[in-house]
């Protein structure tokens, strides 16, 4: 979250109203960044965390389905070691990465 704020990513998403799905570390990042529901605070009587409602669990499931393809594409890029062995200009590497991610998400 700190790095995303420092590099202006959070502000850019809000300014251009680009919806994004993130993990719980991005809680409070703004209206365009969707994050899953966190577990409730501890119950003072029992000392245990309060459970999420069925509706909150359904929201988290839908959120995970939305994030899943992008997470898998990023993991595959790491496994392929594409970024370590790239032979083209680093200034144009983003095009290669975007193309690979698009193909992987489209084929999922």
Domain boundaries, the chain: 53-108
How many CA atoms lie less than 13 Å away from 98 in the CB half-sphere? 4
49 against 8, higher pLDDT: 8
pLDDT band at 58 (very low <50, low <70, confident <90, very high): very high
Treating both helix axes as pointing N-terminal to C-terminal, what angle do 54-80 and 93-107 enclose, rounded to 10 degrees?
130
Alpha-carbon gap, residue 68 to 41, rounded angstroms: 27
Q: Is 41 left (phi over 0), alpha (psi -120 to 50) or beta?
A: beta
pLDDT band at 108 (very low <50, low <70, confident <90, very high): low
Alpha carbon 8 to its chain's center = 16
The number of beta carbons lying within 10 Å of the beta carbon of residue 107 is 8
The percentage of the chain sitting over the pLDDT mark of 90, rounded to a whole number, equals 5
The torsion angles phi and psi of 34, rounded to 5 degrees, stand at: -85, 130
Q: What is the structure's pLDDT at 66?
A: 86
Mean pLDDT of the chain: 83
How far from 41 is each of 24, 29, 74, CA to CA, in Å?
Answer: 15, 20, 32
């Amino acid at each position: 979250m700190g790095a995303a704020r420092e590099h202006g990513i959070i502000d850019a998403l809000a300014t251009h109203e680009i919806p994004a799905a993130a993990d719980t570390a991005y809680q409070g990042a703004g209206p365009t960044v969707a994050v899953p529901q966190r577990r409730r605070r501890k119950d003072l009587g029992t000392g245990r965390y309060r459970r999420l409602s069925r509706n909150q669990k359904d929201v988290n499931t839908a959120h995970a389905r939305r994030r899943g393809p992008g997470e898998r594409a990023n993991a595959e890029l790491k496994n392929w070691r594409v970024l370590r062995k790239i032979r083209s200009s680093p200034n144009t590497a983003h095009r290669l990465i975007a193309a690979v991610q698009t193909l992987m998400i489209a084929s999922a």
